[in-house]
Structure 1
């Protein structure tokens, strides 16, 4: 863990009750916890959050769990039973923020709706993450990240032209929703500092994806243009693509006007760099195939290391396409504190992602390992708290 592991963080004193599971809600909780919030994670007895059993396991527990639930405390409550819900209401009465990512209406069915909880705790901020939001005709439909990415417009753009769309190998919809949720919580805390009142932060997975779709909608509105998949290229912005080398691939972003000229000089194509018709992006976008062919003709004859060295010396944005091994061995990741070594309760030495973003005066930190199931029952649950 980091040298600032004992730092309280900028959110010290903030109490968060996390009722969600799997990815979106818990990722929001993890982000708040990284910066000092006390995050109390409520899990079902016996099984806990299903993420404990997702993907690769060490001694029966997911190594992903060590990232998603670090800095949190775990208590077990059966929210399907009134006894468990009554305790959850007591915990919510003491909390600043409550996070949930159940289907809309379930919290109300359980007697845990915002109006009920706010009656006892008017300053409570409730972050609600769902597939389609708490209102609208789709609110009751089940919504996972894979569907949100499709509805939000992202999936259609992923893949090669004329081929079925592909998905990223991670749940982008969940993570984007979690980050939008954290932004909403911080905004609501700012408002509460002025008014004393809490509020609901309503985050839909598909809206979080859609919010990142750049010019997709206005281009359709103005021109009837339906943006289509373009493989590894960035449509309308050139040159920006992945290019084959003698022993691999690199990505090159040569789409700035001055960068383009430096790139063309570096690949011995000053004729293109000095062409007045290519001095702006519009001209380059119209001749993108010609430019990509010229760059490929140069890169394909050279190993990745030579391409990187040449273009970096020319101050052209370029990079290799990283695997997990590349990340683990990269000195910049380690210099920036983006790879931290922990030792789990089972004795496994494990590299995990560091804390983002970087704050100069009040940085976040990994202060504690992910908890065992119900580890903090005695400390936190009414009737079981230590004297």
Structure 2
């Protein structure tokens, strides 16, 4: 392994999205991630979304650079192997229901005594404490109760879902951040490992800007506003003549004046009531109508060219087809091509962030269930006979 996290050992006891995505991010930057899966079907994401020859394309992305070991955690031998793996691990990432690992004999007290340097990252719907901790929670519920769904959708319309599993992904990012802070503490000799408690609800809530003080001090409840950015103007989504949509952010004072010049509305640029954002926000509908009147008369490429020439931030709303074909994505290595086990080549997203000296890398795609079981057990000092016995007993696959 190479990368900034080379030498960091991560054990993933997780399924579907939040914990696996967090572990994937660490694996991309060199961590040795061993994914513990249940014998039989393994992680359900192997069958989620679109399949290719019976395996999810999402799986190949979500589990790249990981090693898969299939363990029966209902067996004493399976639990014993997990403990062996954790004896020298740096991080455990899990997203089981609170209390589930405790029932398996893998609670924090046990693991901290086993390995004081271990960081235990726990991702759940509501966190490990509080009155809701025992409720089941998925990313969609986190989005609902974290506040983002209430503010997403057309004005006066039904609360809408963002088109991806946003709640889970936000929890993953917070999990990685917490894991790295804890590992840094250990590696610099400042203390032992600790529990990183990540809630899906709180991960979404953490992005909700000034929602709380606006409500507490002003009694303001931010509502759905479609493509607009309430209180910041102009910033919205506008139609073009050829049926495309462009997002324009003209919300700083100098950019606003340049934008008005582009659309031929010098009167709005010079009006003193629009010199600052608060004045523009008070009449955002009027300004948006003027901008939409201009964009709707021109095709998208003309709109973008004019705005770029005037140094006004703007972008076409991309579909996945637009993304894959875009030369900037390609130049930034954000579209990588890899070969699946059957020899078929497929495009996959690249790695974020870009590190100049120790960049991340894709070493292999998501593995077959239990593909690395024998190798991992051999690293623990087990013989071929030991592994055969475990397999015969149903402890491993």
Q: Which TM-score band (shorter chain)?
A: over 0.9
Equivalent in 20, 26, 32 of residue 26 of structure 1? 20
* TM value normalised by structure 1: 0.97
- Partner of residue 11, structure 1: 5
Question: Cα–Cα, structure 1 residues 111 and 18, in superposed 2: closer, same or farther, change >3 Å?
Answer: same
Q: Answer yes or no: is 1:94 the counterpart of 2:88.
A: yes
User: Could you say what secondary structure the match of 1:250 adopts?
Assistant: strand
User: Could you say what secondary structure the match of 2:149 adopts?
Assistant: helix
Count of residue pairs the alignment pairs up: 381
Structure 1 residues 255-308: Cα deviation after superposition (integer angstroms, max 9, x where no partner): 011000000001111111111111110000011011000001100010001000
- Partner of residue 368, structure 2: 372
| Residue segments in structure 1 that go unaligned for 5+ positions in a row | 1-6
- Partner of residue 195, structure 1: 190
Structure 1 residues 350-380: Cα deviation after superposition (integer angstroms, max 9, x where no partner): 1111110011111111112211111111111
Q: Distance in 2 between matches of 1:96 and 1:385?
A: 25
Q: Runs of 4+ in structure 1 displaced over 3 angstroms?
A: 382-387
Q: Answer yes or no: is 1:283 the counterpart of 2:279.
A: yes
Equivalent in 314, 320, 323 of residue 324 of structure 1? 320
Structure 1 residues 303-355: Cα deviation after superposition (integer angstroms, max 9, x where no partner): 00100000011000111100010001000001011110000111121111111
Structure 1 residues 181-218: Cα deviation after superposition (integer angstroms, max 9, x where no partner): 00000110111122341000000000000000001011
Q: CA deviation at 1:162?
A: 1.4
Q: CA deviation at 1:161?
A: 1.6
Q: CA deviation at 1:81?
A: 2.4
- Partner of residue 350, structure 2: 354
Of the structure 1 ranges 272-281 and 377-386, higher mean CA displacement relative to structure 2 is found in 377-386
Equivalent in 108, 124, 128 of residue 118 of structure 2? 124
Q: CA deviation at 1:169?
A: 1.4
Q: Answer yes or no: is 1:146 the counterpart of 2:146.
A: no
| Residue segments in structure 2 that go unaligned for 5+ positions in a row | 386-397
Q: Distance in 2 between matches of 1:38 and 1:51?
A: 21
* TM value normalised by structure 2: 0.94
Cα contact 1:54–1:64 (8 A) shared by 2: yes
C-alpha root-mean-square deviation of aligned residues, in Å?
1.2
- Partner of residue 233, structure 1: 228
Q: Distance in 2 between matches of 1:214 and 1:235?
A: 12
User: Could you say what secondary structure the match of 1:98 adopts?
Assistant: strand
- Partner of residue 245, structure 1: 240
- Partner of residue 305, structure 1: 301
Structure 1 residues 126-152: Cα deviation after superposition (integer angstroms, max 9, x where no partner): 000000000000000000111110100
Structure 1 residues 92-145: Cα deviation after superposition (integer angstroms, max 9, x where no partner): 112110010000001111000111011111100000000000000000000011
User: Could you say what secondary structure the match of 2:257 adopts?
Assistant: helix
Cα contact 1:379–1:385 (8 A) shared by 2: no
Q: CA deviation at 1:383?
A: 6.3
Q: CA deviation at 1:80?
A: 2.3
- Partner of residue 40, structure 2: 46
Structure 1 residues 204-240: Cα deviation after superposition (integer angstroms, max 9, x where no partner): 0000000000010110111111111101100000000
Q: CA deviation at 1:386?
A: 6.7
- Partner of residue 258, structure 2: 262
Equivalent in 165, 174, 195 of residue 171 of structure 1? 165
Q: Distance in 2 between matches of 1:82 and 1:227?
A: 52
User: Could you say what secondary structure the match of 2:150 adopts?
Assistant: helix
Cα contact 1:377–1:385 (8 A) shared by 2: no
User: Could you say what secondary structure the match of 1:186 adopts?
Assistant: helix
User: Could you say what secondary structure the match of 1:154 adopts?
Assistant: coil
Q: Distance in 2 between matches of 1:28 and 1:337?
A: 21
